Amino acid sequence: MMALSAARDAVYRRALDFAARQTRAVVEREPGFYPMYTRQGRWRHGQEAWTQWTDGFFAGLLWKLYAYTGDPWWRQQAEVYSAALEPRQHDREVHDLGFVFLNSYWPWQCVSGDRRLEAVIVQAGRTLAMRFNERGQFLRSFLAPESLFIDIMMNVPIILHAARVTGDVRLREIALAHCRTTARYLVRADGSTAHEGIFDLETGQFLRQSTQQGLRAESAWARGLAWSLYGFATVYRYTELPEFLEVSRRNAAYFVEHLPADGVPHWDFDADPTAPPPWGAQKDSSAAAIAASGLFDLAQLSGEDRWREAALQLLDALCGPKFLADQTPGWEGMLLHGVYHTGKGLGVDESVIWGDFFFVEALGKAVGLASSANSLPHSGADPQNS
Ligand code: GLY
């Protein structure tokens, strides 16, 4: 692996310092508040959430900034914001329990060594597994029983985690079945992904690709592709099954080869960049941040340095004046030009907390933060490898 140049190291550490200032300001302004997306640069507003999936990201940011700074203030805050999430281990309303607990309780367990925290993660994994549709062999999205989302690939690792900790073979079977169904129906031959799949609940048969947050059923919603790239890489990390590494690699190739000249994707790879925003030339900086973090992992898992170089180029773009909010007085997030939900008009051209979270995670990987709180360090295949 090539060493990070001194110039890049300095730029990335400046961005991390900025991230710490922005995050500290959120905590000091309104303790206990979990930001989701900004409106005109402000985290606090009365707009809807659509679904409650993001609270683990703010707790996770605090853990990552603890890893970066070593300052116990961050750990104290991280514990407070993580502990408040505990009741969510039983939350049957969302498919996002990996996002919630692998970014809060997992780093907490790694930092503290307290095995009692493990029970919460395991329960969250079991709760997520209850979404399994036996006939269709997938975990259903929060939206409807017949709906499978690409986003769930980022959450399914918590089921593998629970399976590993408990030795529960059924949990592992559910997770692998979900991944294979997703790879078969949502990931296309060219590496692009559909956001959603719709199944016949009577027969379990796959009916069609669809979308909630992308441009069209057959388009490549940029964030969904980033979730897939990163999610399949993480599943490979757990299982060492090459079929999952192959999917991640295919996603990565599509993502990298379709980037525009400024290095950050539009919100959907099929959006017309000559048309006005929000349906046309709207960027999604969060897709770039997620992909950067996933590409670092893919580089490590595959041994292919080109993915690391692609991740660094994404970070270079995000650290530039067009995307980093450090030159925008009064803006409360870190990354400009993210999107939550174009169709609903939520968080369009704003900061989004998952964008900021994965940006900090990717910066941490780039500068070589060797902390368990900086990434999910699950390595090695599970005992039952099939
Ligand atoms: N619902 C997950 C996302 O907006 O990416």
Query: Any idea which residue has 């993480």 for tokens?
Result: 234
- Mean pLDDT confidence for 151-161: 98
pLDDT, residue 381, reads: 58
**Is the C-beta atom of 185 inside 6 A of ligand 1?**
no
Q: Which atom of ligand 1 is nearest to the CA of 227?
A: 5
Closest C-alpha to 191, from 183, 202, 199, 200: 183
Q: Of the ranges 276-280, 364-368, 382-386, which one carries the lowest mean pLDDT score? A: 382-386
Q: Does 226 score more than 50 pLDDT?
A: yes
What's the CA-to-centroid distance between 132 and ligand 1, angstroms?
Answer: 20
Return the closest-CA partner of residue 153 out of 102, 110, 84. Answer: 102
pLDDT of 101 higher than 70: yes
pLDDT tens digits along 336-372: 999 999 999 999 999 999 999 999 999 999 999 864 4
Best residue among 57, 354, 356 to mutate for probing ligand 1, ranked by most atoms within 8 Å of CB: 354
Which residue's C-alpha comes closest to atom 1 of ligand 1? 151
Give 86-89's long-range contacts (Cβ < 8 A, gap of 24+).
Answer: 86/120, 88/55, 88/124, 89/120, 89/121, 89/123, 89/124, 89/127
Reply yes or no: is the peptide bond before residue 321 cis, omega within 30 of 0: no
Please give the pLDDT value at position 3. 87
Measured from the CB, is residue 213 less than 6 Å from ligand 1? yes
Instruction: Give CA–CA dist 142/377, Å, rounded.
Output: 28
Distance from residue 236's CA to the centre of ligand 1 (Å): 22
How remote is the CA of residue 151 from the centroid of ligand 1, in Å? 7
Question: For residues 281-304, b (16+ Cβ closer than 10 Å) or e, as one string?
Answer: ebbbbbbbbbbbbbbbbbbbbbee
Atom from ligand 1 closest to the CA of residue 50: 1
Distance 144 CA to ligand 1 centre (A): 15
Residue 109 has pLDDT above 90, yes or no: yes
Q: Above 60 in pLDDT, residue 327?
A: yes
CA 171 / ligand 1 centre spacing (Å)? 24
pLDDT of residue 384: 52
The residue whose CA has the least distance to atom 2 of ligand 1 is: 151
Average pLDDT of the segment spanning 301-328: 97
User: pLDDT-based confidence at 2, cuts 50/70/90?
Assistant: confident
Q: What is the mean pLDDT of residues 118-125?
A: 98
Question: What is the average pLDDT across 289-299?
Answer: 98
Alpha-carbon span 183 to 188, nearest angstrom = 8
Please tell me the predicted confidence (pLDDT) of residue 385: 47
How far apart (Å, rounded) are the C-alpha atoms in residues 334 and 357?
9
In the reported structure, the alpha carbon of residue 213 is separated from the centroid of ligand 1 by a whole-number distance in angstroms of 8
Pocket test residue of 340, 350, 357 for ligand 1, highest count of atoms within 8 A of CB: 340
Q: What percent of the chain has pLDDT over 70?
A: 95
Q: How far is the CA of 140 from the centre of ligand 1 (A)?
A: 15
Cα–Cα distance measured from residue 235 to residue 224, given in angstroms and rounded to the nearest whole number: 16
Query: What is the rounded average pLDDT of the residues 59-71?
Result: 97
96 lines ligand 1 (CB under 6 A): no
pLDDT tens digit sequence for 169-210: 999 999 999 999 999 999 999 999 999 999 999 999 999 999
Using 50, 70 and 90 to split pLDDT, how confident is the model at 376? low
Q: CA distances (Å), 218 to each of 190, 192, 231, 269, 312, in order? A: 12, 9, 21, 11, 29
* Residue 359 alpha carbon to ligand 1 centre in Å: 16
**302 in Cβ contact with 280 (< 8 Å):** no
CA of 115 to the centre of ligand 1 (A): 30
For the chain, give the mean pLDDT.
Answer: 95
pLDDT at 386: 47
